[in-house]
Structure 1
């Protein structure tokens, strides 16, 4: 018998929220240190993240909201969450948005992100979506390369988000681009 990797993706369950929050914060600190800055990253409240993930896992706001985790054996090493996007035209199919897709930095580049994205797209399709979108922080070239390899591309939409106070009480502002694909 040939050995196989014990990796999987499953729906998040109560009790996963602490690990999910830790993964998200570690991934943000690794990928966005330059863009968000120390002040913002140091101000992130891990307990608030745990509470938000607990709510998402135990009480989704409605149909089409899903939280998934990637596992390496029994360890949770990644997270993805998706939500429905109503169509702009009532005759169109709805879409979906990947709200979060993070893998713990020591476990990156092992296929967990690809498995999470594939499972998320499968759930969106099952919910009737015909397209997927997500937002990418400008200068996150690793995420851009990952999404491009999965068939997504920028659609030209951008947004700017204030992330909190920066030096001299000026707000840090992050620019994001929307990435999109038909599914």
Structure 2
């Protein structure tokens, strides 16, 4: 049996999270976004993660890291929801739910999602939302099987500011017990 867990991320986790995020984005956005439009500076990403983990802007901003032994295999970001139709007091957002593509199917995503939901419940949120790439059938299926549902909200992100690199997203939501 593997030694697996989920815990709150520490500033020392910044390099592992940055590397995992940049590598996973290459897989997640393959075919949707030109490779050159994606960030690839691990040092800059590490610095940004270190700053964010050291001094979050809101006490309810959390980063959770999924571990296999002592190796980061996934992470989730929880925060108050910022969409105009959401109430930041009662609505939360899982801003990112990332599992290393080579580690999927091993339960890390389920553990990470459950830990994120438990964290949001502890922070007294009543509803959670998550934006997913519209074409990411695997993530949408994973979430709907976990009790999430689309709420009809959608958006198009302009990743380069020119309109040349657009990513369509749909929002899913769930009630928190």
Tell whether the structures are fold-level matches, with TM greater than 0.5: yes
Separation in 2, partners of 1:89, 1:155? 12
User: CA 1:93/1:108 → structure 2, altered by over 3 Å: closer, same or farther?
Assistant: same
1:156 to 2:149 alignment: no
Separation in 2, partners of 1:52, 1:31? 21
Tell me the SS of whatever aligns to 1:128.
coil
What's 2:22 paired with? 25
1:102 to 2:98 alignment: yes
Any conservation in 2 of the 1:79–1:101 contact (CA below 8 Å)? yes
Separation in 2, partners of 1:18, 1:89? 32
Tell me the SS of whatever aligns to 1:143.
helix
Any conservation in 2 of the 1:56–1:67 contact (CA below 8 Å)? no
What's 2:169 paired with? 176
**1:1-183 to 2 correspondence within 5 Å?**
4-41=1-38, 43-85=39-81, 94-164=90-160, 171-183=164-176
Any conservation in 2 of the 1:78–1:112 contact (CA below 8 Å)? yes
Any conservation in 2 of the 1:83–1:97 contact (CA below 8 Å)? yes
Flag structure 1 segments of 5+ consecutive residues without an equivalent: none
The structure that has the greater radius of gyration is: 1
Separation in 2, partners of 1:97, 1:129? 10
Separation in 1, partners of 2:68, 2:99? 11
Aligned residues: 175
User: How many Å apart are 1:177 and its aligned residue?
Assistant: 0.7
Compute the RMSD of aligned alpha carbons: 2.2
TM-score norm. by structure 2 comes to 0.90
Flag structure 2 segments of 5+ consecutive residues without an equivalent: none
